[in-house]
A and B are shown apart, each in its own frame.
Chain A
Amino acid sequence: MNLQDNIQVALRALAANKLRSALTMLGIIIGVASVVALIALGNGATAAITAQIEGIGTNLVTVFPGRFDKGGPQGRLQTVLFYDDYLAIANVSGVRSMTPIFQSLTTFNYEAETSAVQLEAALPSYEIVRNAELDRGRFFNASDNAGRSRVVVIGYKLSTDLFGAIDPMGRSLKIDGVMFEVIGVLKKKGGGGFGGGGDDGAIIPLETAYTRLFGGKAVSQGRRVVSSVSFAAATADEVEPLIVRLERIMRRQHGLSLTDKMDFTVFSQNAFLDAFTIITATLSAFLGAIAGISLLVGGIGIMNIMLVSVTERTKEIGLRKAVGARPRTILIQFLIETVVLCMVGGLVGVGLGWGVAAGVRALDLVKAEVTPGSVALAFSFAAFVGLFFGIYPASRAARLSPIEALRFE
């Protein structure tokens, strides 16, 4: 009895009960389809967010106050960065451009429209550091900053939220009650963005912010405060050495010895990307696992049906044994039947999952990507489910006593 004979016998047995075979396969179809579709969605979301992070700039290195480590003696740590800190690190080497940023949640008003905005105050070099591209108008310049001009560059979505179809250029809006003139609109980036500067954010000159807008809000212990300092490293290879240099300067600035815990964080966009990749990979694995559970449930359904099938075909098994089939031959016959069932279900499931992913893509929700890896994973898992859940019914069939099987009614 070779494989071809066995597959032929399996297909004939499955064709004999078309409705039952189809219903049994449904579990596997849904399982495989959800594995393929969910992994595709996960990949799509990851790709979209990764592209967004990369849009901010992979050479970006940022100094934050405080430590993101868990635990630690928080109370002892200095948890703000001062303008003095920025001045201390401003002359570090290997930098293309840099800017301190003060960030605060503010309220924007234009006529009747109101919007809560994460406002960033920075130097004109922000434009280079963050790869800010303008849709219209211009970015603020050094004289805007020195002259403490009340000018603002707004994100694309904020522009449409506040102004609708009106061109916002040259119009005045109120930030926390203070009048500002719109001088530029940023290009659409998509999504919320990270660390501000996204489609619904806005940027004003740092001097303006300190003197005309935030006042005491941006001062601590009589000194000006910054939320972070962003650097664009000269090259990608400069990112790591820059982090080391920044840490050294900051330690000295804060009077920390090499054994002291750092009270600041130097973070590169690459590290952020890595951390994010781990998060999304975990998320994808979770989605896959949930889909895998449905495959497992489908597998149990298959085992159930195969047990019924073995009972129904007891007489056939008895006859096959009477004409010389060995127990192992019967085992393989039923195992192949289950695996064929699962593989056919797997094929249909891959098609369905691909269809779902294509549908999601067509609706422009997420750019779902079906990868060959996820197809192979789902398909081989389906085959494995068939083998695993087929073993028990098949071995029951193989162990049947020939005479009892023949006499079975």
Chain B
Amino acid sequence: MITTTEYAPAAAVPVTTAHTNGSHGASSVPARVVMRIEDVRKNYQMGETVVRALDGVSMSVRSGELLSIMGPSGSGKSTLMAIIGCLDSPTTGRYWLDGDYVENMNENQLAAMRGRKLGFVFQQFNLLSRTPALENVMLPLTYAGVRGKEKKDRAMHALELVGLADRSHHRPNELSGGQQQRVAIARALVNDPAILLADEPTGALDSRTGKEIMELFLNLHQTRGLTLCLVTHDPKVGALTPRVVRLVDGLIVEDGA
């Protein structure tokens, strides 16, 4: 049983600057591995037939890396993201996240992993309506047991990082799509995640706003050493990342630059 205080992040400052050597290939010393999966399989029962969404996938991500997982729809990229994000469990396979072995964790421990080591950005933003931006950003801290001034300060800092400090009291319906996605990014950053997962982050935005969001991601990666994994079918997004993992029919067919 993990208590709320146990999974409060050790670092009080969001997005540490400890990963300055993280830019891909910039360092002679290899950065440590923050995520590793080995031979992960995921089967779904669809009536009579078994659908193999993932059919033996192995990969790892180092701290400070920027990569995209690409593939056509039905290739298994969403399933892979769900498993990396501790939102779903693989049928078989091994998974380590930031030094913890994720397999066999119970619901509470998985919730703690999501709250402490992962950040999510979704296509549809998934902000709480009628809730001011600052409170949306504070949500992961609330569940992690951070309280009072520290909670507010960290959320405010995360909003500054995405350039929305002056919109902290606006509700989602008072913000543009791009601004809403920035709030969502601030929410994903606030717990200083080991890895940030972004599922089609520009999918619901027009191309100009989408480009701005990608620039924000790249900037956060370069200046703060953010480990960022984009899941997309958009080649324009994939072209911006040094590493591309390509999935077809539940298998990795390409992993590299």
Q: Which residues in A have some Cβ–Cβ distance to B below 8 Å?
A: 1-2, 5, 12, 15-16, 315-316, 318-329, 401-403, 406
Contact = CB atoms under 8 A, between A and B. Distances in A.
B130 A16 contact: yes
Contacts of B85: 322
A320 B139 contact: yes
5 contacts: A2-B147, A15-B130, A315-B126, A402-B114, A403-B87
Contact of A327 (B108, B116, B145): B108
B122 interface: yes
A329 B87 contact: no
Among A2, A318, A329, A406, max chain B CB count under 10 A is at A406
Among A1, A15, A320, A326, max chain B CB count under 10 A is at A326
Contact of A401 (B88, B129, B131): B88
A322 B87 contact: yes
Interface in B47-93: 82, 85, 87-88
A327 B122 CA distance: 21
Contacts of A327: 107-108, 111
Contacts of A402: 87-88, 114
Contacts of B122: 319, 406
Contact of B116 (A1, A324, A328, A329): A324
Given A320-B143, A326-B111, 13 more contacts: A1-B145, A319-B128, A320-B139, A321-B111, A324-B115, A324-B116, A326-B107, A328-B108, A329-B143, A401-B88, A402-B114, A403-B87, A406-B122
Contact of A324 (B126, B131, B140, B147): B140
A319 B143 contact: no
Interface string B101-126: 00000011001101110001010001
Contacts of A318: 126
* Interface majority SS (helix, strand, loop, mixed), chain A: helix
Contacts of B142: 1, 5
Given A5-B142, A403-B82, A406-B122, A322 B88 contact: no
B187 interface: yes
Given A402-B87, A403-B88, A406-B87, A323 B108 contact: no
Contacts of A319: 122, 126, 128
Contacts of A403: 82, 87-88
Contacts, number: 69
Nearest to B131: A12
B50 to A, nearest CB: 18
Interface string B5-43: 001000000000000000000000000000000000000
A402 B139 CA distance: 16
Contacts of A5: 142
B80 to A, nearest CB: 12
Nearest to A12: B130
B228 interface: no
A322 B120 contact: yes
Given A12-B131, A16-B130, A403-B82, A324 B87 contact: no
Nearest to B118: A322
Contacts of B251: none
B103 to A, nearest CB: 17
Contact of A323 (B82, B88, B114, B130): B114
Contacts of B115: 323-325
B161 interface: no
Contacts of B88: 401-403
Among A12, A322, A327, A403, max chain B CB count under 10 A is at A322
A250 B139 CA distance: 85
B186 interface: no
B230 interface: no
B162 interface: no
A359 B123 CA distance: 58
A322 B147 CA distance: 20
Task: Report, nearest first, the 4 A-B pairs whose CB atoms are least far apart.
Answer: A324-B115, A324-B143, A323-B140, A403-B87
Contacts of A323: 114-115, 120, 139-140, 143, 187, 191
A15 B116 CA distance: 31
B128 A316 contact: yes
Interface in B213-227: none
Contacts of B128: 316, 319
A12 B171 CA distance: 13
A326 B112 CA distance: 8
Contacts of A320: 139, 143
B244 interface: no
B144 interface: yes
A269 to B, nearest CB: 65
A136 B122 CA distance: 92
A264 B145 CA distance: 77
A321 B111 CA distance: 7
Contacts of A406: 87, 122, 126
Contacts of A316: 128
Nearest to B143: A324
Nearest to B83: A403
A335 B257 CA distance: 50
Among B128, B187, B191, max chain A CB count under 10 A is at B128
B130 A326 contact: no
Contacts of B107: 326-327
